[in-house]
Amino acid sequence: MRLAFAVLALALAAGCAVDTTSPARAAERFHAAVAAKQDEAACAMLTRTTAEKLPDPDETCAQALAALKLGPGGRVTGVEVWGADALVRLQGDTVFLHQFTDGWRVTAAGCEPRHDLPYDCEVED
């Protein structure tokens, strides 16, 4: 009986593993598009709300993103996932993402921690 319970507990724990790879790859793809000056492709990786809030009235999302001159992403140094939300730390940036049915999308980028305050982000919804 103990063995059966231990096997069941192990199986349940294995089934609850959090996927950190997918949000990390999404953050890397976003920064790769920004670095390659593929600003329209980078805008397509943003959530709709973030993409709509980014530009001023007379510019496109791509123009606004290019004007920000986000720093380099770099290597992933940490990933935290809470349900459908994630934070990906890169060497040169911190990116927040949300998971949709079609994958992870960026909700905020160009983020810097501010001690006990919320992150200060260049791109956010």
26-73 tens-digit pLDDT: 999 999 999 999 999 999 999 999 999 989 889 999 999 999 988 788
Containing structural domain, residue 42:
19-124
**9 lies in some domain:** no
The three-class DSSP label of residue 44 is helix
**2 lies in some domain:** no
Closest by Cα among 66, 48, 55, 65 to 106: 48
**59 lies in some domain:** yes
**4 lies in some domain:** no
Name the domain count of the chain.
1
* Gap between the terminal Cα atoms of the chain: 51
CATH number of 35's domain? 3.10.450
Structure tokens at 22: 């997918």
**91 lies in some domain:** yes
Please answer whether residues 98 and 109 qualify as being in contact, where contact means their C-beta atoms are separated by less than 8 angstroms: no
**83 lies in some domain:** yes
11-23 tens-digit pLDDT: 444 456 889 999 9
